[in-house]
Structure 1
Amino acid sequence: MNKIKNYDDLIRLGDSESRSVVLTIADRVLTRLDAYHRIKAITRLDGDILTIGTRKWDLSSKRNVYLVGAGKACNHMAMAIDEILGDRLTRGIAIVKIAEDSDRFHRTEVHVGGHPIPDETGHRAALEILSLADQAGPEDLFIAVISGGSSALMSCPIDGITLQDEMDATDVLLKSGAGIYEINAIRRHISQTNGGRLAQRIARSGAELIGFGISDAVGNPPSGDITRPYADYASTPIGPDKTTLADARAVIANYDLADRLPRSIVDYLESAGEEDETPKAFPDNTYFLLNTLPDSCLYAKEVAEQMGLPAMIVSSFLEGESSDAGTFFASIAREAQASGNPVAPPCVLIAAGETTTHIPDNSIIGGHGGPGHELVTGFALTAAKTHGAAMISLDSEGTDGTTTAAGGLCDSTSLARADQCGVNLHEALRTHATHEALSAIGDAVFTGNTGTNLCDLNILYIPARPA
């Protein structure tokens, strides 16, 4: 195993053969998605000539070359650029969620920001990046590396809205049941960096911008040929924003947030005019999209078939309540063993997307967890009826929700093992303390930073029913 750190512990429990299948597939997919290797595969520096895919730049014509980045996969992305450019890099600033002992940088400053809730460290680093943009000129080049999580990590609210306001708003939004696109409609319109505002500042300076991105947006097509610039790049701090002020106002109305969000944010969004809209186009920028959400499903299907297992992609649009999604997959496993529908076992079912957890009142929270934890816990409650079924649900960047675990792996024995340990999985779901529950029975999965960020990867293995 290359990415899953506690593989040996996970494989000793429950249905070992079934757990081995989903662990092997997940690990190989995460390895293939690592942005460090993907950037290195298409980027090189020969003397003064920087080649990225099908494009070339003569760095002898550039006064300064800056690296800026933020996101949960930023460690690996920034390391690749820092290593390739070496002394050609004037200065780098990267804002990451977790710094690893294995991180190595030459001329890049690394700041550990807050995620999913922004913090002061990320805010200060964002101000440093904006200062670089404001001081730049037409002879300068910015290379930006952006992945999911940049909204929180590179937090920099507009004048009139405090960092605390943005922190409080993020907490409310994440627990409101709103989808990530809806949450971002608000966050992008109150930010100096998000929703293309960083690219806007760089464009005003006259400097050139090359962007590397990983898209975790539900609905994007597969990445395809990553050596060619991506024409439809959108969102994040460096790309045009597809959300609108009208979208942001609709989220407040649809989720009854007017009295829950900070008053400064509600008042601003209600009064903002056309001049306050986020930028919608950057025709002069060059973007390379390293991966999109469906890639994880396609790679998982390839790996499963290489292992001799029929595989079906159920959806790369998976959304909704996490625990309900887990119950659904357990029901599919039971149906497959009973009738051979929708595919006869042994087989692998794959899904990706971004499920959410609705928490209307913080007082009910009794521990820690995340969507992946809750999905497999919901799975475990029903999967006990399906011999050998095993499911892994991972936040592909390596940290699920408020935990340091990537997610969880449950099988048909998890409920019984929980009962033997005195762990009530129903109670864990009710109190959103699934991390403590899964850790107690050995079903939490740890990876550390993976080098990618494609939302949640869910892999279900259904063996044939024994005679």
Structure 2
Amino acid sequence: MHAFKKIKNADTLLSGGDTASRKVVLEIADRTLDKLDSYTRIRSIMRLEGDILHVGKRTWDLSKKRHIYLFGAGKACNHMAMAVDHVLGSRLTRGIAIVKIREEADTFQKTDVFVGGHPLPNEEGLRAARQIIEIVDAAGPEDLFIAVMSGGSSALMSCPADGLTLQDEIDTTDVMLKSGAGIYEINAVRRHISALNGGMLAKRIRDVGAELIGIGISDAVGTPATTDISVPYAAYKSTPIGPDATTLEDARAAIVNFDVVDKLPKRVVDYLMSAGPDKETPKAFPDNTYFLLNTLPDSCIYAQQVCREMGIPSMILTSFLEGESKDAGVFFASIAREIQTYGNPIKPPCVLLSSGEVTTQILDSSVIRGHGGPGQEMTTSFAIAAVKTSGACLLSVDSEGTDGTATVAGGITDSSSSAAASARGISLYQTLREHSCFEALEAIGSAVFTGNTGTNLCDLNILYVPAMGEY
């Protein structure tokens, strides 16, 4: 049996339901997440030989640097920052890493770890951001900054622009996440009310004349798959260290189009609507050196590699998946039925892979009766619609290890999950209405727990469909 490295509660997940289908899906997910671990990815391109730091195909003579600083933020920051900290050792002057969850296994030599807030910012993230600003503002041309960034940095490295407060950032993030807006629109608003995000950290480093090496993971829908990660990535953008593709006009359009003008803090609306060109985020950093470890399509590509190794036919359906999470669950169930009944678009047994970032619209927070996230809502919805497709099994996880407001990565359900819920007196329809999918999935042994995975590529969805008659 496959020895699971990333999925911590595999025994529970395999204790019920369509076990054979679950084994297939869980092994694909586990092996894919292992291939994506950023600690291994960074160590494969970074090494220190004497005074010479090698990062990919570039080198830096550290004897010519006065100070070397490491900054990191994001949901994959634990592993990313550890990799750089372990390579540099005593050569590192100081590091600051802002993570979502600190794990007991995390070990650092010269790096201070702060637990920021995600999806909503918190005081500790703000405290870390202010220390970063103090270090940068005291630096000069002889200093080197290495920054490791992944998705989630907008909330974790929270530092409001002048005139705004941390509570303004918290309230703005909360409103935008529940508005039905996509991540591009949400980021357009968040980045333009921040003193560090949207490239403002890189601008600060540039303004003092210091050098920046950026290492990132891109979870943006539409970013092409990676190729040779040892080659500097010229098209790097967004997060606190790269040029920002969103604009003030995008931010203004988002708050109008998603009808949140009256829900956002008045200070934020006034700030965005009156901001002049000097408040725009930077659009280019030609002197910085960037490396991109992984992008969103990589998860499907690596998962398909695993399927080949396992001898299972597979198809990448899309790496652009967006929209309402519960609707996506119904869609995947309908595809599973088509596959099993008619063999379209691929004959069973087979695996369909997808990635992207579905969202959950919550118009009235008073209806919430529990915890959950888009991956859990997708698999709960799938469970209802998949009862007519024997053995069909869907896993949906937020690849960094936490989905929405729950401490689990997501969920896994199959054609028997709805009956399992009913046997425990659980209505999956009510669960979806009350946004309490975590409690329901946990009760039927279908909430997937990983902890920090070392990557952050939004949602990974794996659908297995056996041939009719296998169950």
**TM class, shorter-length:** over 0.9
Tell me the distance in 2 between the aligned counterparts of 1:87 and 1:126. Answer: 23
- Alignment match of 2:411 (pick from 396, 408, 427): 408
Letter in structure 2 aligned against 1:276: K
Per-residue deviation, 1:267: 0.4
Distance, in Å, in 1 between the alignment partners of 2:413 and 2:200 is: 42
SS at match of 1:448: coil
CA deviation after TM superposition for structure 1 residue 11, in Å? 1.1
> Deviation at 1:306?
1.5
Residue 423 (structure 1) shift = 1.0
* Counterpart among 182, 187, 193 of residue 185 in structure 2: 182
Question: 1:57 is matched with which residue: 50, 53, 60?
Answer: 60
The one-character-per-residue Cα deviations of 1:377-407 (angstroms, maximum 9, x if unpaired) are 0100011110000110000000000011000
Matched residue type, 2:172: A
Instruction: Kindly report which structure 2 residues correspond to 1:262-411, keeping only aligned pairs within 5 A, or say none.
Output: 262-411=265-414
Does 2:178 correspond to 1:151?
no
Question: Equivalent residues in 2 for 1:193-232 (5 A)?
Answer: 193-232=196-235
Flag structure 2 segments of 5+ consecutive residues without an equivalent: none
Report the Cα distance in structure 2 between the residues aligned to 1:301 and 1:237, rounded to whole angstroms. 32
For 1:71, the aligned partner's letter is: G
- How does 1:41-80 map onto structure 2 within 5 Å? 41-80=44-83
Q: Which residue of structure 2 lines up, in the alignment, with residue 90 of structure 1?
A: 93
Q: Does 1:260 align with 2:263?
A: yes
Count of equivalent residues: 467
TM-score norm. by structure 1 comes to 1.00
Q: CA deviation at 1:446?
A: 0.2
Give the one of 121, 128, 153 matched to 1:118: 121
Does 2:10 correspond to 1:2?
Answer: no
**Helix, strand or coil for the counterpart of 1:131?**
helix
Q: 2:446 corresponds to which letter in structure 1?
A: D
Could you tell me how far apart the structure 2 residues matched to 1:104 and 1:159 are? 35
**Aligned counterparts of 1:138 and 1:305: Cα–Cα separation in 2:** 50
Q: Which string of whole-angstrom CA distances, capped at 9 and with x for unpartnered residues, describes residues 56-106 of structure 1?
A: 000000000000010000000000000000000000000000000000000
Q: Does 1:28 align with 2:34?
A: no
After TM superposition, what 4+ stretches of structure 1 lie above 6 angstroms from structure 2?
Answer: none
| Alignment-mate amino acid for residue 130 of structure 1 | I
Instruction: Give the SS at the match of 2:454.
Output: coil
Establish whether residue 100 from structure 1 lines up as the match of residue 117 from structure 2: no
C-alpha distance in 2 between matches for 1:38 and 1:340: 38
Q: State the identity as a percent.
A: 67
* SS of structure 1 residue aligned to 2:226: coil
RMSD: 0.6
Bigger CA drift: 6-15 or 41-50?
6-15
Where in structure 1 are there 5+ consecutive unaligned residues? none
User: What are the Cα deviations for residues 8-29 of structure 1, in whole angstroms up to 9, with x where unaligned?
Assistant: 1111211111000000000001
2:104 maps to a residue whose letter is D
Alignment partners' CA distance in 1, 2:206 and 2:143: 11
Q: Which SS does the other structure have where 2:160 is aligned?
A: coil
Question: 2:396 is aligned with what amino acid?
Answer: S
Q: What displacement does 1:430 show?
A: 0.3
Q: Secondary structure at the match of 1:164?
A: helix
d(CA) in 2 for partners of 1:326, 1:202: 44
Amino acid at match of 2:403: D
- AA matched with 2:363: P
Alpha-carbon distance in 2 for matches of 1:327, 1:304: 24
Residue equivalent to 1:448? 451
| Residues 15, 445 of structure 2: 8 Å contact kept | no
Residue in structure 1 matched with residue 41 of structure 2 by the alignment: 38
The secondary structure found in structure 1 opposite 2:251 is helix
- Match of residue 11 from structure 1: 14
Give distance in 1, aligned partners of 2:464 and 2:216.
31
1:178 deviates by 0.1
